[in-house]
Structure 1
Amino acid sequence: MRAIVVRKFGATPELTDMPVPEAGAGAVRVQLEAAGVNPFDAKMADGILDGKLPHDFPMILGVDGAGTVAAVGPGVTGFAVGDRVVGKFLNPPAGHGSFAEFAVVPESGILVRVPEAVPTVAAAALPTAGLTAQDMVDGTEIEPGQTVLIIGATGGVGSFLVQLANMAGANVIATARGDVADQMTRLGAAETVDYTAGSVREQVAAGYPDGIDVLYDLVSPPEVLAELTGLVRDGGTVYSTIWSADEDALRSRGIRGGNIESKGGARELTRLLDRVAEGDVVVPIDATVPLADGASVIGAVGARGKTVLAI
């Protein structure tokens, strides 16, 4: 089968042939049709899991994937051949991911059926970005009318955050270039701040002199996040998805949140898929790229929504 791999940490991802994996006891083999691309894929290739999880080389990249169950191993009762499914394909040993024509996942892992109303490409874009956004909004316990600022709103996680925070009743401020302000408005932002037009902190402070309630920051390094945190009222909430938050400094002001790594599992993914099926959440696909060209988009920046590999 075709797969995108790295042969060692730090190597350039490449398309190669790999053996088709077997579905062992308690495992499900999925014939993948689409795989979502995330910033984590490039970090995985560079070795972020070295010393944290056992791994195999050549390492097949990719966490998010959707397709059809092709085989089930002994003892599997929750899935059957032909089921359309989506899930996360990161299990020890790492290196048997979704950027491939087939992948195997434990039945007990993060794997769920895809509702009929949800296209496979949309499903493949959901797990990492969608669950991260949902975890942040769930953890915040937004009250209707609160003001939420999202830094990095046009990317995968940000596009879901705008929608989910709006659904929770928040007044959403999204940072975005002026030429994509309309897209943010359609997703549910009440206001956009053009980060190319000047200091985001100064622009938001001018409009909200009494402060904001929640800051979701998906892109800022620690020193920038520390500055932006000054916009948040004491007792508010700050989340960083790239581990830029000084949690001790936040606690000193009674601010909740901190650095977040999604813990969402199968139940949470099912809830998110149901929201998509019902039309409450839109999956913004920025680009669909053939698997043969997939290596070129790993680690790419500037996407306005999700990039998905068509397998």
Structure 2
Amino acid sequence: MRAIVVRKFGEPMETAEMPVPEPGAGAVQVQLTAAGVNPFDLRMATGYLKNALPHDFPMILGVDGAGTVSAVGPGVTRFEVGDRVVGKFLVPPAGHGSFAEYSVLPEDATLVHIPAKITTLAAAALPTAGVTAQDMVDAAAIRPGQKVLIVGATGGVGSFLVQLSNIAGAHVIATAGPADADQMARLGAAETVDYHRAPVEDSVRFTHPDGVDVLFDLVSAPDALADLTRLVRTGGAVYSTIGSVDEQRLREREIRGGNIESRGAAPELARLLHRVDEGDVVIPVAATVPLSEAASVIGAPGARGKTVLAI
């Protein structure tokens, strides 16, 4: 089968022929149709989890994937051949990911059925970004009427955060360039801040001198995030997905939150799929590229919405 692999941490990605994995007891083989691309994929390729998980090489990249169950191992009860499914294809040992024609997961991993109205391609864009956004909104415990500032709103996680924060009743302030302002409004942002024209902190303080209740930051380095944190009211919350929060300083200011890593699994993914199925959440697929071109989009800067590999 075709797959996108790295042969050692930090080496160039390449398309390679790999053996088709077979499902053992309690496992499901999925013939993948599409795979979602995330910033995490590049981090995996460069060894982000090398001290946390065992890895097999050549390492097949990719966490998010969707397709059709093509075989099941002994003892599987939740899935049947022919089921359309979506999930996170990262289980120990790492290196058997979704950027391939086939992959295998335990049936009790993050793997769920895709509702009939959702395309397989769209579903593949949902797991990591959507569940991360859902985890952040749940952690912040947003109340109706609160002001929520989302920095990095136009990317994959940000696009879901805008929608989920709006559903929670927040007044959403999204950072976006002029070309993305309309898209942010369609997803639920009450206002946008053009970070090209002035520092975000200055712009938000001018329009909201009393500050904001929640800051979700997906892109800022520690010093920049420390400046933005001054916008957050006492008792508010700040969350970073890239480890930029000084959690001790937050506590000194009586602000909740910190550096967050998504722990959401099958229940949270199923919950999101239900919201998509009901029309409450849109999966913002911005680009679809063939599997052979994966190296050109993995880790590419300036992502808008989600990029999906067609397998």
Pairwise TM-score range, normalised by the shorter structure: over 0.9
Question: Residue 102 in 1 paired to residue 87 in 2?
Answer: no
Q: Once superposed, what is the RMSD of the aligned Cα atoms?
A: 0.5
Aligned residue for 2:230, secondary structure, equals helix
TM-score by length of 2: 0.99
Question: Residue 155 in 1 paired to residue 155 in 2?
Answer: yes
Residue 235 of structure 1: aligned partner: 235
In 2: Cα distance, 1:252 partner to 1:117 partner: 48
In 1: Cα distance, 2:198 partner to 2:305 partner: 24
* TM-fit CA distance, 1:67: 0.2
Aligned residue for 1:100, secondary structure, equals coil
Residue 252 of structure 1: aligned partner: 252
Aligned residue for 2:23, secondary structure, equals coil
Between the aligned residues of both structures, percent identity stands at 72
Q: How far does the alpha carbon of each residue in 1:227-285 deviate from its partner, in whole angstroms, 9 at most, with x for none?
A: 10000001100000001001111111111110000010101100000000111000011
Point out 4+ residue stretches in structure 1 off by more than 2 angstroms: none
Residue 186 of structure 2: aligned partner: 186
In 2: Cα distance, 1:121 partner to 1:303 partner: 18
Residue 114 of structure 1: aligned partner: 114
Residue 84 of structure 1: aligned partner: 84
* TM-fit CA distance, 1:179: 1.5
* TM-fit CA distance, 1:51: 1.3
Task: Tell me the amino acid that sits aligned with residue 5 of structure 2.
Answer: V
Of residues 95-104 and 135-144 in structure 1, the stretch that sits farther from structure 2 once superposed is 135-144
Residue 217 of structure 1: aligned partner: 217
TM-score by length of 1: 0.99
* TM-fit CA distance, 1:198: 1.1
Aligned residue for 1:189, secondary structure, equals coil
* TM-fit CA distance, 1:53: 0.2
**Unaligned 5+ runs, structure 1:** none
Q: How far does the alpha carbon of each residue in 1:149-188 deviate from its partner, in whole angstroms, 9 at most, with x for none?
A: 0000000000000000000000000000011100000000
Residue 71 of structure 1: aligned partner: 71
Aligned residue for 2:136, secondary structure, equals helix
Residue 34 of structure 1: aligned partner: 34
Task: Tell me the amino acid that sits aligned with residue 72 of structure 1.
Answer: V
Residue 44 of structure 1: aligned partner: 44
* TM-fit CA distance, 1:108: 1.0
Q: How many residues in Structure 1 have an aligned counterpart in Structure 2? A: 311
**Unaligned 5+ runs, structure 2:** none
* TM-fit CA distance, 1:4: 0.1
In 2: Cα distance, 1:124 partner to 1:287 partner: 12
* TM-fit CA distance, 1:226: 0.5
**Mapping 1:54-65, distance limit 5 Å:** 54-65=54-65
Question: Residue 12 in 1 paired to residue 12 in 2?
Answer: yes
Q: How far does the alpha carbon of each residue in 1:197-223 deviate from its partner, in whole angstroms, 9 at most, with x for none?
A: 011100001111111100000000001
In 2: Cα distance, 1:118 partner to 1:229 partner: 38
* TM-fit CA distance, 1:3: 0.1
Residue 293 of structure 2: aligned partner: 293
